[in-house]
């Protein structure tokens, strides 16, 4: 029992290499590790433990090591799982690439269709603009022709009116000339009558004084 008073020598903790968490094609050496429990029981007995105590310690250590190995094995990945994961990544990448290519083609087709639609709209707008310009020019020409016709008609009407006025003036002038000629003739007749009467009176007066 005095041996139990000895200080317990703790085993040095060995850090687990991070490489163990990477992928492996073969099982870990820890999974195949076995130790001689009888030898360790004997060693513990040599340090003052009873056989029952030594066997209990060894059983506990065996359980702890087994659980540790199972935990580490749970964190490891087999070669088959690695290949499966790699294949799945390749499939996902190929699917993503195909999806991107299809999306790019779809976007290109949609962009091309949209561009063609815009070109069609622009062409239709140009056609409508040309038609509107042609219609406007035709309307302007029609208005100009109508205005020219109206001006010609108005000029013709004014020419007719001026000709009518000229005719009236000529008629009035002719009537005035006729009236003046008649007045002149009447004046001449009156003067001739006066002169004839005056001459007759003079002759009568001269005859009267001659006798």
106 alpha carbon, distance to own chain's centre: 18
Domain ranges of the chain: 2-6+17-77, 78-180
In contact, 3 and 47? CB cutoff 8 Å: yes
DSSP characters over 83-98: HHHHHHHHHHHHHHHH
Tokens 């949209």: give the residue: 114
Residue 78 is predicted with a pLDDT of 72
* Tokens at 129, concatenated: 């603009």
- The per-residue pLDDT string of the chain (211 residues; one tens digit each, 9 = 90 and over) reads 333 333 333 333 333 333 333 333 344 444 445 567 788 788 888 888 888 888 888 888 888 888 888 787 776 767 787 788 888 888 888 888 888 888 888 888 899 999 999 999 999 999 999 999 998 988 888 888 898 888 988 888 888 888 888 898 988 898 888 888 888 888 888 888 888 888 778 877 777 776 6
| 19 CB burial (10 A radius; 0-12, 13-18, 19+) | exposed
Measured CA to CA, the distance from residue 62 to residue 56 in angstroms comes to: 10
Residue 77 is predicted with a pLDDT of 64
* Tokens at 57, concatenated: 């310690």
Residue 49 is predicted with a pLDDT of 81
Which residues on neighbouring strands pair with residue 23, listed in sequence order?
77
The model scores a pTM over 0.75:
no
Q: Is 11 helix (H, G, I), strand (E, B) or coil?
A: coil
């Amino acid at each position: 029992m005095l041996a139990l008073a000895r200080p317990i020598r703790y085993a040095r903790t060995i850090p687990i290499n991070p490489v163990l968490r990477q992928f492996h094609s073969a099982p870990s050496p820890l999974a195949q590790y076995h130790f001689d429990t009888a030898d360790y029981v004997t060693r513990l007995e040599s340090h003052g433990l009873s056989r029952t105590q030594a066997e209990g310690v060894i059983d506990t250590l065996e359980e702890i090591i087994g659980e540790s190995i199972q935990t580490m094995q749970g964190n490891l990945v087999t070669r088959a799982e690695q290949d499966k994961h790699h294949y799945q990544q390749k499939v996902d990448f190929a699917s993503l690439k195909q999806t991107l290519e299809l999306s790019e083609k779809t976007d290109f087709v949609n962009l091309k269709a949209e561009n063609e639609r815009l070109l069609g709209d622009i062409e239709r707008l140009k056609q409508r603009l040309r038609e509107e310009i042609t219609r406007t020019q035709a309307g302007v020409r029609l208005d100009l022709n109508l205005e020219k016709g109206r001006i010609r008609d108005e000029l013709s009407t004014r020419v007719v009116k001026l000709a009518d006025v000229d005719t009236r003036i000529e008629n009035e002038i002719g009537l005035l000339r006729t009236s003046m000629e008649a007045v002149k003739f009447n004046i001449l007749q009156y003067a001739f009558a006066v002169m004839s009467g005056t001459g007759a009176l003079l002759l009568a007066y001269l005859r009267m004084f001659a006798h």
